[in-house]
Amino acid sequence: MYTPRMNWILLILYGMIALGVFVAALLLPPFRAVAYAPVRELLLPPPAPVTLNLLYSTEKEAWLSEVIPAFEQSGASINGHPIRVELEKMGSWEINAAVLDGTRKPVLISPASMLQIAALQDASTAQFGKSLVNPANDPACLPVVKTPLTLVAWKERADVLWGQQPGASLWLNVHDALVNPQGWAAYNHADWGYVKFGHTDPLKSNSGFMTILLMSYGYHGKTSGLSPADILSDADFQAWFLETEASIGQFEYSTGPLMEKMIAYGPSTYDFVAVYEATAIEQAENAVGRYGELRIYYPSPLLWSDHPFCALQADWVTPEQSQAAQIFIDYLLSQPAQQTALLKYGFRPADASIPLEQPGSPFDRYAANGFRADLSGLPEVEIPAGNVLNTLRDFWSRNVR
């Protein structure tokens, strides 16, 4: 039987519990959810977010603009603190430069390729005595989507130069075609003028650097073991390389504008260009009915742009930010985010369980243009050590730029 005295005791106990929950929610954000909602929203300040500053390459801007709001709305948090992602886009090599010179201090970086991560690992070790990234052993440094470097060409020109599929001598043949003073006349098509090839600036754009790396591998006839000596001590390679690059009138700063220029001006400007598969997918509709059939070709061997997301191992990154970075990377690798990358933006998912050929897939939609889901029959080149990559960039900078 309840008495007035007992009612008062229960009221006091309830008040003490409510006060305890309120104080706990104030001091410890994980308790915020159990606080009485109207009081919580009126009196408790929202917990400060854990902010992830992300420097990323421009190719995945549209995808990130879609998946990041969904990530933030999912309720992802660290100890009751919501996770917020702040974006800044840069060229892939500019990301490395900004981190090394201290003008940016991000939590996460996402260049277009592990090429930049390998180069940053080498350069940061030389500069700071320790590496800012460790892709071999860090679960917070992983590729999340991928796309190979491809050649996009007007079909009638590609039929003359390499037919259905470029062979192992592709880059040697490209060099010979570009430097031939007769141009297309050497192939019985004098009305086409000179052979015109384009790639982006390797100092700014990852696709341009991937191109000159494939060229270097192609000249030496190997898929692994490229060394600084192959670049600096081989005079014949240097002459061949510089002749190829001298045939290119302008190096675009980014892959998208290069592809757009090819479509806008047709073979009067470019017969073929080196761009990402995903970029070609993005622009496939725009090329229809303009200057003939535009097709995609896969060089052999291949080189992949694998879009790593890596949390920096730097003194400005807090433990909470490192944890939040891992949660964010896990979200990007989740099936919904991976499906969006494939179906809407033409990236190949890092999640191998997601089929490339499915309803709505660009590999079904644009198969007639040469897009191939299965590339397992083509060899791939090894990503060289960071010192090799930095040597190749320095060689291009000193002799071509």
Q: Report the pLDDT averaged over residues 322-346.
A: 96
Q: Would you call 389 exposed, middle or buried from its count of C-beta atoms within 10 A (0-12, 13-18, 19+)?
A: buried
Rg (CA), the chain: 27
Angle at which helix 386-399 crosses helix 114-128, to 10 degrees, equals: 90
Question: pLDDT per residue over 172-210, tens digit each?
Answer: 999 999 999 999 999 999 999 999 999 999 998 999 999
- Cα separation, 90 vs 203, whole angstroms: 12
**Residue 168: pLDDT over 80:** yes
pLDDT reported for residue 21: 47
Please choose, from the candidates 140, 49, 118, the residue with its C-alpha nearest in 3D space to the C-alpha of residue 332. 140
Question: pLDDT per residue over 101-129, tens digit each?
Answer: 999 999 999 999 999 999 999 999 999 99
- CA 229 → CA 139, 392, 396, 398, distances in Å? 33, 10, 15, 16
Which domains can be identified in the chain, with CATH numbers? 4-43 (no CATH), 50-143+308-346 (3.40.190.10), 147-305+361-399 (3.40.190.10)
- Cα separation, 111 vs 93, whole angstroms: 8
**Residue 25: pLDDT over 70:** no
pLDDT reported for residue 36: 45
Q: Report the pLDDT averaged over residues 332-356.
A: 96
155 φ/ψ angles, rounded to the nearest 5 degrees:
-55, -40
Q: Report the pLDDT averaged over residues 268-274.
A: 96
**Residue 43: pLDDT over 60:** no
Question: pLDDT per residue over 224-257, tens digit each?
Answer: 999 999 999 999 999 999 999 999 989 998 898 9
Would you say 327 and 83 are in contact if contact means Cβ atoms under 8 Å apart?
A: yes
Pairing of strands 108-110, 50-57: parallel
